[in-house]
Structure 1
Amino acid sequence: MPAVEERIAELRNIIREADRKYYVLDAPDLTDAQYDKFMAELKQLEAENPALITADSPTQRVSGTPLQEFPSVKHTTKLLSLDNVFDLEGLRNFDKKIREVFPVPAYETELKIDGLTVEVVYEDGVMVQASTRGDGVTGEDVTGNVRTIRSIPLRIPTELSRLEVRGEIYMPKDSFLRLNTECEEQGRAPFANPRNAAAGSLRQLNPAITASRDLSAFFYEIQFADGKEFTSQEEKVRFLREMGLPVNPRNALCGNIDEVWAKQEEFLAARHDLPYDIDGVVVKLNDLSAQIALGETSRCPRWAIAYKFPAEEAETILEDVTLNVGRTGVIAPTAVLKPVQLAGSVISRATLHNFDYITMKNLLIGDHVVICKAGDVIPEILRSLPEKRNGTEKTIPVPEHCPTCGSAAVRGNGEAAYRCINPDCPARLRESLRFFTTREAMDIEGMGPAVIDLLLEEKLIAGIADIYTLNMFQLVVLDRMGAKSAQNLLNAIAESKKRDLPRLITALGIRNVGTRTAQELCKHYTTMDSLMSATVEDLQKIGDIGPIVAESIVTFFADESNRALIARLKEYGVNMKLYQQEVLPQLLAGKVFVFTGTLSSMTRQDAGEIVRQLGGKVSSSIGPSVDYLVEGASAGSKHAKAVALGIRILTEQEFLAMAGKEEAVPEKNEEPEQLSLF
């Protein structure tokens, strides 16, 4: 190897080892000046020999090309969330369920870092992709930005062809304070807290900005390790450390739930002395075979739990109450508070939910109140302190009129909310437009709240259908729009016309009709016209539609203004039909299935989708209405319940044969050797 190549390789190894000792071992062996000297030499040699530059070189952390947008990434393994508990009783209940399956459990405890979850993928030891969690199934590709975080290695010492790891990116407290000082000096709005700062910094389209924000990370989970097996959570964490990935040094193995409780008290006491924000402790069953036996729900594992620290409290003064009008006309009160520091951010507003809540809490304007951050996120008033009243306090009046348009405010029978009854209320219109364009509705990228407000202000739109009349001449002259942004927005509007019918139904904002209800409706009504003609009686024949939802739907479509809106949308080319998918024979019509254990050829979620496509239903629990229990590996106590009720038990192969996916195999209903709780 020529001398230049040898020196470049040597410098890269020196810098990588220095990063590992600094970020992973917390034992730096180079001064900043020495580190900078080695980095400068490496940059110089690579500049003189560009053919020797590699993607995993420490000099290549920052890309020079800003992105236009973040591409979507589908995770190969679903990134689940965690259930929460808030007290010792909750932890004991979790432990009780575990011990019914695994009598002597040990638990790995981790600090719950208040940051942003990411998945990082290494192939043959080289970082190839990093993505946000997103909805757990699909996230955003932030590889270029994650590469700029020096605590995350670009190369790791492994022979594995693919390694997928999960961690939390955060901003240290001192870095957060420096960033906010810079923001204030530059006349920019400061960030509310370190978590928001970390999330905003990671989602910068220009990696150079992310690189300047001093983000860091801790890793805690291996999603996939090709060809390598582990027996415990502790072993996984040890492997992460061996790979040079930063792991929180405070992670600890506890022999029982009492030790877990003692450990969380230790963490809670140290909370404010740590250089980063935490909001709880994650507790994981250490034994991986037991984890597999316990399994998971569609949302979270049964073998792990998040203990959330008690909400921090602060005392302040309720200075005023403002009223905001939502898209359905609900008039929501918001508390205006004397600014107070709480849980790392300045709080000046809090939710009041509705006027029954105000009465229940005995709140007056001018009251001293105790506030908390519910779940350490949403500020909420816990209670008033009437003993501190001095007689100057004022009652909070119930609204008689809409604060925006002046129309009557009406409270429906059995409702806690007051509503504006004017369908043309400007506030309702603005919120309806905002909802119509959101990702779960028509997903019009680039038409966020600021753009909608601008379009309303310039009187370019006066209703939802007007979105589809916008043109380049109108948009290009708007502030901060420009020709390219205008064209991108018009393209997004045109693309939204192709959205499937469930999205349009969701976007219309019918009371009590969300995404799932819209999808259920479209199983029975494949065109907008057929849905508009449905009666309350017709709708209630759908299993999940009750009288309240049915009445909301019929009332919405009986309104002439809503019918006129749909007519205009149809005129402008918005799709009004359900895109026809492959019509499958309803082999499982009317049959109810329960799945338990680990299936070998698919996930339980995939199996459930097969059942639904073939006309059947899926239940999560055994009961008299269940027809079949499908068992995979490590099946649980559902077996005994099914036997007691005379429910037929199927193997995975038998289920596939019934669904027309494989040839049938002989039935096998023997008692499994081991039972688990779930």
Structure 2
Amino acid sequence: MTDTAAARDQALDPGKVSEAEARQELEALAKRLAEANAAYHTDDAPVISDAEYDVLRQRNAALESAFPHLKRADSPTEQIGAPVSETFAKVTHAQRMMSLANAFEEAEVVDFDVGLRRFLSLDDTAELAYTAEPKIDGLSLSLRYEHGTLVQAATRGDGTTGENVTPNACTISDIPETLEDAPEILEVRGEVYMSHADFEALNTAQKAKGAKTFANPRNAAAGSLRQLDAEITRSRPLRFFAYAWGETSAPLAETQADAIARLTALGFQTNPLTKRCDGPAELIAQYRAIEAQRATLGYDIDGVVYKVDALDLQRRLGFRSTTPRWAIAHKFPAELAWTRLEAIDIQVGRTGALSPVARLTPVTVGGVVVSNATLHNEDYIAGRDSKGADIRDGRDIRVGDWVQVYRAGDVIPKIKDVDLDKRAGGSVPYEFPVTCPECGSVAMREEGDAVRRCTGGLICPAQAVEKLKHFVSRAAFDIEGLGAKQVEQFYNDGWIREPADIFKLKARYGSGLQQLRNREGWGEKSALNLFQAIDDKRNVALSRFLFGLGIRHVGESASSLIATHFGTIEAVLEAADSAVSFEGDAWDDLLNINGVGEVMARALVTTLTQDAERASIARLLEEVAPAPAEAPEVVDSAVAGKTLVFTGTLETMSRAEAKATAEALGAKVAGSVSKKTDLVIAGPGAGSKAAKAADLGIETVDEAGWRALAGLDPS
């Protein structure tokens, strides 16, 4: 095993962190990856490399697998891309554009095959073929053809909504504007990219005329496609590979390989390295063959994508929340490097957590300059886990040490090891602060928690400012012109202390505008625009309102789930009041929301029932009116709208397939039986859940009864 692979194994091994450490790390991962998504997909200015981003997601998935009850509602595994830019018209995709799950080691490819066979109830001898194709490092694009004519081109965006770039796409020679012998409706999906040679020529030309140059071919391709002037796009050497499809009025073929061949016949460029493979051994062989050609391909790739070949099996396998079950990206590995630890800084987050960050002598790791690394918490610095056991064989980390930086497996690069042979004489162990560096309040560490937290609460400027930054962030109230810099400025000047103050700015300071427009970076027009942007957000979706409150463990996706379940802010607050004892019908109702666990529910109830928080929310509600959430569309099925619980062994399908089928039919699937449960499906070996259902008088059916309700063919 290489040093890189060994380091990755250690970093991604969830057994090496405690539950408290995992909770802290998942919170940090969610924040960092959200920032990376916005930088990469919206701004075309990535702050981390693709390889690092992918491994951060892998680390997140490993932690969630080891600690499923800690999965956050704003988990990166529940998100695709980033919100679309306001610069372009928005397009709602007829079928959601998904992302891909990742694998980094050959064993994970084997596990992928084993998992699919288990889901499909196939034994080891049954045929299960795949396709393998290079994963192009470019910008995803969807092309919609109607009656053989290109009518719309859209970027992926957040997977549901993309940007309309039709005029720009029409300038790319690889994209045909008309098709012959195509289905009446055909949505072709692929990747816009730029070759290495064209990238170098473009940057040379940009330098010659004193214009902006691009950091890499992916940025150049994305920036070129997302131009307001299509003529600029026309002047850029963009290419397009087709590799998938969305909505079609008629099937392209019966297999992935034949469908790609059909796209080729229709006039699209498809990758010549795409190959049909029988099983993991052939997939890995093709991965190695593509990797060996990587440097000579003439365009950037960052891995190989494997897809189940039979389209009927793809349909059976279906999708997770953001990724298809039938595909995975086998990514190229990350790297290690040694550098000097110059300082350890303590950052205070909106929940009061004191997070240590290593400041490093800048070093290039896998093509990316690294100057910061996470240090997790005081135990990690001291060379022990939360239970006192040694990590790194007990080697602590000190300022001035020569440290090994690992680019995979954490929110920012991680310090993996220390070279004691290079430690300076007279160095002393790092003393973690016991008071908040921002407000001086006591920083306490509760029993069982790996994180030390400031007790200052609202008097701590770091917490207050971070909460306000979160409130105005893109996924929350998204107030145009009021970003992190402006929030800090207004807070330091005493203009805002809580969210309600934002909506009082105009009344307090807008009469003459003089106080605002005389500030650096502000004029009368920008001040008026800010006041208007604030007023525009007096009516906001309930999900955004809830997310904007910054409740610990309640992220973007959870806010949406809670909003949809309760409908109004009044109902949410009433539910919290009724569930304050963490028992009873209101508590059970909260736990029955699919995706809301006990940790999240406790955080929600505790926060919303605190006097200070409730008073702050009341003041905010005097200024804004959260729009009631729309009830989800009801699917016409026998189980639509019902809450189901599966227990025991299913014999004709896996538990995962049964759950996915139920959700596709509009049902909710819960993990426990309560008064809110409508139906229990009990297979052989059903135990306490079936017994509880009987005690509560809840209808129970066997697997045959479930298949009949679901409209599945008898087996």
Counterpart check, 1:530 vs 2:585: no
1:468 positional shift? 0.6
TM-score, structure 2 length as denominator?
0.68
| Residues 349-374 of structure 1, C-alpha deviations (whole Å, 9 max, x = no match) | 22333333333454333333333332
Question: Cα–Cα, structure 1 residues 194 and 325, in superposed 2: closer, same or farther, change >3 Å?
Answer: farther
Corresponding residue of 1:400:
434
Which AA in structure 2 matches 1:592? L
Q: What SS does structure 1 have at the residue aligned with 2:666?
A: helix
Question: Cα–Cα, structure 1 residues 145 and 310, in superposed 2: closer, same or farther, change >3 Å?
Answer: same
Corresponding residue of 1:29:
none
| Residues 250-292 of structure 1, C-alpha deviations (whole Å, 9 max, x = no match) | 2222233212111212223333444333222111122223323
Counterpart check, 1:493 vs 2:511: no
Give the distance between the partners of 2:336 and 2:429, measured in 1 at CA: 24
Counterpart check, 1:243 vs 2:266: yes
Counterpart check, 1:556 vs 2:601: no
Alignment equivalent of 1:78, drawn from 76, 96, 100:
96
| Residues 270-320 of structure 1, C-alpha deviations (whole Å, 9 max, x = no match) | 334443332221111222233233333343323222212222233333222
Which AA in structure 2 matches 1:413? E
What does 1:151-162 correspond to in 2, within 5 Å?
151-162=174-185
Corresponding residue of 1:124:
147
Alignment equivalent of 1:429, drawn from 452, 464, 477:
464
Identify unmatched segments of 5+ residues in structure 2: 1-84, 384-390, 647-651, 671-675, 692-699
Corresponding residue of 2:705:
648
Q: Is the 8 A contact 1:145 1:202 kept in 2?
A: yes
Q: Is the 8 A contact 2:348 2:438 kept in 1?
A: yes
Give the distance between the partners of 1:367 and 1:414, measured in 2 at CA: 29
Which AA in structure 2 matches 1:80? M
Which AA in structure 2 matches 1:543? L
Corresponding residue of 1:381:
415
Q: Is the 8 A contact 1:193 1:345 kept in 2?
A: no
Give the distance between the partners of 1:621 and 1:327, measured in 2 at CA: 45
Question: Cα–Cα, structure 1 residues 262 and 446, in superposed 2: closer, same or farther, change >3 Å?
Answer: same
What does 1:345-494 correspond to in 2, within 5 Å?
345-358=368-381, 359=383, 360-361=391-392, 362-374=396-408, 378-391=412-425, 395-422=429-456, 423-456=458-491, 460-471=495-506, 473=513, 486=527, 489-494=530-535
Corresponding residue of 2:76:
none
Q: Is the 8 A contact 1:68 1:205 kept in 2?
A: no
Corresponding residue of 1:296:
319
Question: Cα–Cα, structure 1 residues 147 and 514, in superposed 2: closer, same or farther, change >3 Å?
Answer: same
Counterpart check, 1:608 vs 2:649: no
Alignment equivalent of 2:619, drawn from 563, 568, 577:
568
1:230 positional shift? 0.5
Give the distance between the partners of 2:681 and 2:243, measured in 1 at CA: 29
Question: Cα–Cα, structure 1 residues 619 and 176, in superposed 2: closer, same or farther, change >3 Å?
Answer: farther
Question: Cα–Cα, structure 1 residues 458 and 187, in superposed 2: closer, same or farther, change >3 Å?
Answer: farther
What does 1:317-336 correspond to in 2, within 5 Å?
317-336=340-359
> Identity of counterpart residues, as a percentage?
37
Q: Is the 8 A contact 1:502 1:578 kept in 2?
A: no
Which AA in structure 1 matches 2:337? A
Higher RCO (CA 8 Å, separation ≥ 6 residues): 2
1:327 positional shift? 1.3
* Structure 1 stretch displaced more, 421-430 or 392-401: 392-401
1:76 positional shift? 0.8
Give the distance between the partners of 2:573 and 2:144, measured in 1 at CA: 47
Q: What SS does structure 2 have at the residue aligned with 1:564?
A: helix
Counterpart check, 1:261 vs 2:284: yes
Which AA in structure 2 matches 1:265? R
Corresponding residue of 1:343:
366
Corresponding residue of 1:592:
644
Which AA in structure 2 matches 1:334? V
Corresponding residue of 2:714:
671
Give the distance between the partners of 1:546 and 1:561, measured in 2 at CA: 25
Corresponding residue of 1:543:
591
Question: Cα–Cα, structure 1 residues 290 and 163, in superposed 2: closer, same or farther, change >3 Å?
Answer: same
Question: Cα–Cα, structure 1 residues 203 and 482, in superposed 2: closer, same or farther, change >3 Å?
Answer: farther
Counterpart check, 1:510 vs 2:551: yes
Q: Is the 8 A contact 1:115 1:199 kept in 2?
A: yes
Give the distance between the partners of 2:210 and 2:453, measured in 1 at CA: 38
1:466 positional shift? 1.8
What does 1:139-288 correspond to in 2, within 5 Å?
139-173=162-196, 194-196=217-219, 198-199=221-222, 202-205=225-228, 207=230, 214-288=237-311
Q: What SS does structure 2 have at the residue aligned with 1:461?
A: coil
Question: Cα–Cα, structure 1 residues 619 and 456, in superposed 2: closer, same or farther, change >3 Å?
Answer: farther
Identify unmatched segments of 5+ residues in structure 1: 1-66, 628-641, 656-667, 673-678
Corresponding residue of 1:52:
none
Give the distance between the partners of 1:647 and 1:73, measured in 2 at CA: 42
* Structure 1 stretch displaced more, 250-259 or 447-456: 447-456
Question: Cα–Cα, structure 1 residues 230 and 191, in superposed 2: closer, same or farther, change >3 Å?
Answer: same
Which AA in structure 1 matches 2:97? L
Which AA in structure 2 matches 1:363? I
Q: What SS does structure 2 have at the residue aligned with 1:648?
A: helix
CA RMSD, Structure 1 to Structure 2 (Å): 4.4
Which AA in structure 1 matches 2:582? E
Question: Cα–Cα, structure 1 residues 237 and 315, in superposed 2: closer, same or farther, change >3 Å?
Answer: farther
Give the distance between the partners of 1:568 and 1:440, measured in 2 at CA: 22
Q: Is the 8 A contact 1:405 1:425 kept in 2?
A: yes
Q: Is the 8 A contact 1:334 1:351 kept in 2?
A: yes
1:325 positional shift? 1.9
| Residues 181-223 of structure 1, C-alpha deviations (whole Å, 9 max, x = no match) | 8999999998665545554554455556655665443221122
Aligned length: 573
1:477 positional shift? 5.6
| Residues 462-511 of structure 1, C-alpha deviations (whole Å, 9 max, x = no match) | 33222112336366666556666555544442333222444323211122
Question: Cα–Cα, structure 1 residues 546 and 84, in superposed 2: closer, same or farther, change >3 Å?
Answer: closer
Corresponding residue of 1:92:
110
TM-score, structure 1 length as denominator?
0.72
Q: What SS does structure 2 have at the residue aligned with 1:530?
A: helix
| Residues 408-433 of structure 1, C-alpha deviations (whole Å, 9 max, x = no match) | 32222222222222223332223212
Q: What SS does structure 1 have at the residue aligned with 2:591?
A: coil
Give the distance between the partners of 2:364 and 2:136, measured in 1 at CA: 20
1:157 positional shift? 4.5
Give the distance between the partners of 2:166 and 2:435, measured in 1 at CA: 51
Question: Cα–Cα, structure 1 residues 84 and 530, in superposed 2: closer, same or farther, change >3 Å?
Answer: same
Question: Cα–Cα, structure 1 residues 579 and 390, in superposed 2: closer, same or farther, change >3 Å?
Answer: closer
Q: Is the 8 A contact 2:642 2:667 kept in 1?
A: no
Which AA in structure 1 matches 2:552? R
Question: Cα–Cα, structure 1 residues 364 and 144, in superposed 2: closer, same or farther, change >3 Å?
Answer: farther
Q: Is the 8 A contact 1:75 1:139 kept in 2?
A: yes
Give the distance between the partners of 1:670 and 1:340, measured in 2 at CA: 60
